[in-house]
Structure 1
Amino acid sequence: MDKSELIQLLIEREELYKFQARVYRREVDKKLIDTIKSLEIRSDSSDLPEALGVVRASAANSEDPLTDFAVDYARIFLGAGIAKGIAAYPYESVYTSRDRLVMQDAYEAVMKIYRANGIGKLDADLYEDHIALELEFMGILCRRAIEFAEVGDKKALEENLELQKEFLKDHLLNWTKEFFDSIRSCPGSNFYKGFASFTEAFLKMEKELFDL
């Protein structure tokens, strides 16, 4: 892969990571719906465009997507209105700690990684091991990799890509399968269920990219 191809790949990965971070970070708005409608996917796998198609169809079939998907978001990710039932709490600690609680070992681990890489609090309202922040961190690393590639800093680029690989393996791939399964098990529209499949397919591609 030559320099221009590498940079283009990193740009596409950065955009997809940041797009997905926005999806899981807060309720949809008109700008996000417009982005979904216009998003173009280049992939050798059919899984990614098929999942995006499910999301687009759900948005198209809703008379009031902003309200409908805000209700879905609150029910699925915040457990709003649920006395007994399934929710998909978007924190790594919930899926990797013995008592399924927030702010456990995974939270401490990713916070140390962020701080070691000069990244402060990414969101005042979210714990560091939230799915949106882990995706955003990978997007930040992609942006830095682009800058290293552009100036020809081979050593910094190699270290950056190794950090991406380790974070992907130790964190994003460590818990998200159960998380995505939980989203698909929740009641509601296909909007976030489609996004779960979209991110799952994307992370599978990332796993193959890094030969994990």
Structure 2
Amino acid sequence: MKALNADAWLLLSETYGFIGNSLLKPMNQTPSIGLDPAFWDEFPAVFSGERVDAGLAKLRDYAVAAGELGEDGAIENASVEYTRLFIGPPAPAAPPWETMNRADGVTVGFGEATFAMRRLLRDAGLELKNENNQYEDHIGIELLYLSELCRRIADGEPGALDPTEVESFIEEHPLAWISALRGKVEAEYPHGYIAGMLELAEGVLIWQREAVAS
């Protein structure tokens, strides 16, 4: 098993934190730095792989196209996309919860994965403020939880999970269902901002799994 250094763990924490927050709220409630093509040009080269490269290319292309709309128009477009995919009405086109992406035909967004994430957050001493009334197995919350795990390892905090435990969480939760969610998103907005974010997230998750396992 390869040991990642503190800088790598911190970079993973920051990356998951940015993506997680971007997937929890529409862009009119979050920073719009993702609309700057240069932001994606400067994305850390330490992460590599087919999914990372594809996600970055999609996000950069999106940012270039968005530039033609002006900042206000681009933010509005991204926010409408988010609402259609993750909120509705009448219902989310791509429900962002693990429970609804684990198997076909699931229409109830509160299940075993929700309880599992609730336990993990509680065990880590994390409190979900939940101002948007999200279930704990929302993709953004899972990535923010992962961000905190990586930060604790980077800082050498007592009681931080072992890297193999973090890898197990990746395998059992976000990486086990993110491709299913991405497929639903791409069916609606194949070249959209959310599709690019999910592909990038999946690529970084794969990179981390392979880096730790090698």
Q: Calculate the TM-score normalised by the size of structure 2.
A: 0.81
In 2, Cα distance between equivalents of 1:192 and 1:99: 22
Deviations 1:150-206 (A, max 9, x none): xxx6xx45x432331111011011111110111111148622222222222222212
In 1, Cα distance between equivalents of 2:5 and 2:190: 39
Q: In structure 2, list runs of 5 or more residues that go unmatched.
A: none
5 Å-filtered alignment, 1:1-212, equals 6-29=5-28, 32-34=31-33, 37=36, 38=39, 40-41=42-43, 42=45, 43-45=47-49, 46-63=53-70, 64-80=73-89, 87-96=93-102, 99-124=106-131, 125-148=133-156, 156=159, 159-187=161-189, 190-211=192-213
Shift of 1:94: 0.6
Q: In structure 1, list runs of 5 or more residues that go unmatched.
A: none
Q: Which has the higher contact order (CA 8 A, sep 6+)?
A: 2
Asked if structure 2 preserves the Cα contact closer than 8 Å seen for 1:59 and 1:191, the reply is no
Letter aligned with residue 7 of structure 1? A
Q: Bigger CA drift: 42-51 or 136-145?
A: 42-51
Query: Helix, strand or coil for the counterpart of 1:32?
Result: coil
Q: RMSD of aligned C-alpha atoms?
A: 2.8
Asked if structure 1 preserves the Cα contact closer than 8 Å seen for 2:10 and 2:150, the reply is yes
Query: Helix, strand or coil for the counterpart of 2:213?
Result: coil
Q: Bigger CA drift: 138-147 or 30-39?
A: 30-39
Shift of 1:122: 4.4
- Residues 1:22 and 1:176: Cα distance change in structure 2 (over 3 Å): same
Asked if structure 2 preserves the Cα contact closer than 8 Å seen for 1:62 and 1:68, the reply is no
In 2, Cα distance between equivalents of 1:47 and 1:188: 12
